Structures are given as structure tokens and as C-alpha cells.
Amino acid sequence: MQLFQFITKIFGSKKKQNSTENMKKYLIAGLGNIGEKYYNTRHNIGFKIVDELAQKEGIVFKTEKLGDIAQFRFKGRLFILLKPSTYMNLSGKSVNYWLTKENISIENLLVICDDLNLGFGSIRLKGNGSNGGHNGLKDINDVLQTNNYARFRFGVGSEFSKGRQSDFVLGQWSEEEFKLLPERLEKSMELIKSYGTGGLNNTMNTCTQ
């Protein structure tokens, strides 16, 4: 009996490991800045979205090299959530490291960031494009040497006076925005799962607003 349990344990673990290795992987990189003072800022919406998704899935982030990592399975896919610890302007180093470490193709990368050109709560998904003035995307483009990867932009609005852009994106959500965030976060989580299971084009048509 003990021999049977031993054999089952060994081969059962191997089967489970192989199942994970063969599973289609996606790297979901939420951009932001580390540190308590940045936690609820507009610029950290990427962190906020993956934090909400991790909480909903009942998983916990662990601090690893160049970022915090959490992962969950959904409909035969493995979603690896990343919060780079390199600060926003050096996001490319972390994203590139985890793509390489997990052997994930760039076609299965989704980067989440804030966007000043979209009204609050608007969500857009694109398969490529310029950095749009976003320093996190700029660094990712430079490090990966391409802009052909999916990016999910969350609108934060542009209600700031001339020369106050930095203060606005690094500022806290307004009281009204904070009340509306939960519903937009729910939509954002739906988009991420749809991207992994339904593909880019289908998600662009059904989940963006």
C-alpha cells in the first residue's frame, strides 16, 4: 500500500507538472509604480486591475525577480499576472525578463496602462501601436524592439491645467471616480479573461467601450 502511494505521488506530480507546462500561457502585465504613496493613483491603474483580478481568483502575489507575480488557471489557460518592481519608466526590463523566463510568446502578452487621451473608465484594446506618450509603453517598446503586442488602455481623463499632467496622473482618484471604479474594474477583468480565451479580435469587438 505504501509503495502504491509512493508511486502515485511521484507520477501524479509529474503529470500535474507536465499539464502546466503544456498549458497555453499569457503574461498580463499591469503597469504602475511601487510604494504606498502611488497605490491609489491614476497612473497605477494597471496594478489596481491585476490586484482586483488576483483577489477575485483567490490568489496572492509573491515578490520575485523584477516584480510581483501571481498566477491562475482559467478554461485551459494559465494567466501569469505581473506587477513590475522597476518603476513605470523601466517596465520593459521586467516584462522582457518574465516573457523569457516563462517562455511566453509576445503574441500572448497583454500590457495594462492608464491613458490620458480617453475619458475616465473608457477601456480600449489594441494589438499594436505607438506609446502614445506613455513612458511605460515607451520603455517596453524599446526593450522588446517592437510595438506589436496587445495593450489594454484604461482611460483616466485629462482634467488638468497646462503643465499639471504629472500631478494629475500621480494624483488620487476623485470621490466620484472612486465610486465608479468597481464597475469599471469588473469590466476590465472580463476583458483580460476574454483576451486569453476568445482572442484579441473577438475581445476588441465585445469588451471595449
Which CATH number fits the domain that encloses residue 106? 3.40.50.1470
Query: Is the pLDDT higher at 5 or at 43?
Result: 43
Asked if residue 5 belongs to a domain, the reply is no
User: Could you give the CA distance from residue 130 to residue 33 in angstroms, rounded to a whole number?
Assistant: 21
What residue numbers bound the domain in which 116 lies?
Answer: 24-206
Asked if residue 11 belongs to a domain, the reply is no
Strands (E), the chain: 24-30, 62-64, 67-74, 77-84, 109-115, 123-126, 150-155
Asked if residue 179 belongs to a domain, the reply is yes
Instruction: Judge contact between 136 and 174, C-beta under 8 A.
Output: no
Structurally, the chain folds into a number of domains equal to 1
Indicate the average pLDDT of the chain: 90
Asked if residue 16 belongs to a domain, the reply is no
Chain centre distance of CA 82: 6
Asked if residue 62 belongs to a domain, the reply is yes
Asked if residue 2 belongs to a domain, the reply is no
**Cβ neighbours of residue 202 closer than 8 Å, sequence gap 6 or more:** 194
Which positions are catalytic? Answer: 43
Sheet holding 67-74, edge to edge: 62-64, 67-74, 77-84, 24-30, 109-115, 150-155, 123-126
Asked if residue 9 belongs to a domain, the reply is no
Averaged pLDDT for residues 128-136: 92
For 52-108, the pLDDT digits (tens) are 999 999 999 999 999 999 999 999 999 999 999 999 999 999 999 999 999 999 999
Asked if residue 1 belongs to a domain, the reply is no
Residue 16 binned pLDDT confidence (cut-offs 50, 70, 90) = very low
Using the predicted structure, report yes or no on whether residue 122 has a pLDDT greater than 60: yes
For 197-208, the pLDDT digits (tens) are 999 999 998 887
